[in-house]
């Protein structure tokens, strides 16, 4: 299947403003792009890409005074298959984990494991190891947090989300990632495109989506606590410890978001 996807994001800046963007398709999906996913700038400005420590593509720019619009519009070839379901995927003892996976057991800015460790063991200590334990965590988070697009909060941590019981997709992902790490299951935060493909369309504005991956049986698997069902058409942009590592934009000045549109649609 083919998916048309992209965005148009505008910023108003009173002076030249450095920005760090993570709006590129993840290198693992570049081979699936049928047309160029390159970032476009209006007005045209120089841009510099570099890979971060997690393998994501970051873009550095100096936004000019006034309005800058960043956009992309491209086609992606997708398998059309839903997320994998492998119920016999095993959980590895910590001592057997690869070195590069260990970082995804540690607490991070939005995944405050120190505050939720006891709670996690009380809630999930009785569940079977491996896939079943991760699914128990996903089920709990899915039912515990109420999705509300109007209640987004860039400062909300997993502990806050657990107590406030409301949020957006990143809050579902942060809480599930945190519980997994507390239970010694490596988990990493993901962001990208996820349209209403194969499911009834929802009235909320289209946005980038957040989900997470866990390390079981020697590889990474996708889970989604917001939707809690296998989905079609995920297009990865970035992975990291939490939303800090894959922020769509990090702005080093007083720039204001002036426009935001995302589209992700199956092409007939």
In a domain, 120, yes or no: yes
Separation of CA 29 from chain center: 15
In a domain, 85, yes or no: no
| 159 and 42 in a common domain | no
What is the pTM assigned to this prediction? 0.95
In a domain, 88, yes or no: no
Q: What percent of the chain is predicted at pLDDT more than 90?
A: 94
| 171 and 130 in a common domain | yes
| 117 and 33 in a common domain | no
pLDDT, tens digit, 9 for 90 and up, residues 184-204? 999 999 999 999 999 988 877
Q: Which domain holds residue 61?
A: 2-79+248-267
In a domain, 193, yes or no: yes
pLDDT, tens digit, 9 for 90 and up, residues 23-42? 999 999 999 999 999 999 99
| 153 and 57 in a common domain | no
**Domains identified in the chain, total number:** 2
In a domain, 181, yes or no: yes
| 98 and 61 in a common domain | no
At residue 88's C-alpha, the angle toward residues 213 and 225, to 5°, is 35
pLDDT, tens digit, 9 for 90 and up, residues 158-179? 999 999 999 999 999 999 999 9
């Amino acid at each position: 299947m083919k998916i048309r996807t992209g965005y148009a994001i505008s910023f108003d800046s009173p002076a030249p403003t450095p920005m760090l963007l993570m709006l590129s398709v993840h290198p693992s999906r570049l081979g699936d792009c049928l047309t160029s996913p390159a970032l476009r700038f209006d007005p045209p400005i120089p841009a510099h890409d570099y890979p971060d420590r997690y393998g994501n593509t970051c873009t550095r720019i100096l936004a000019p005074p006034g309005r800058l619009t960043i956009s992309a519009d491209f086609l992606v070839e997708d398998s059309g298959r839903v997320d994998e379901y492998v119920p016999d995927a095993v959980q590895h003892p910590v001592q057997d984990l690869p070195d590069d996976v260990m970082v995804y057991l540690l607490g991070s800015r939005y995944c405050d494991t120190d505050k939720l460790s006891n709670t996690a063991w009380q809630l999930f200590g009785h569940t079977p190891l491996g896939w079943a334990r991760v699914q128990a965590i996903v089920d709990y988070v899915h039912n515990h947090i109420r999705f509300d697009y109007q209640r987004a909060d860039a400062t909300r941590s997993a502990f806050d989300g657990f107590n406030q019981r409301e949020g957006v997709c990143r809050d579902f992902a942060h809480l599930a990632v945190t519980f997994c790490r507390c239970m010694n299951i490596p988990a990493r935060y993901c962001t990208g495109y996820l349209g209403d493909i194969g499911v009834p369309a929802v009235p909320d504005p289209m946005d980038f989506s957040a989900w997470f991956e866990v390390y079981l049986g020697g590889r990474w698997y996708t889970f989604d606590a917001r939707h809690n069902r296998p989905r079609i058409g995920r297009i990865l942009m970035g992975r990291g410890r939490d939303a800090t590592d894959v922020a769509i934009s990090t702005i080093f000045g007083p720039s204001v978001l002036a426009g935001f549109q995302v589209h992700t649609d199956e092409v007939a």
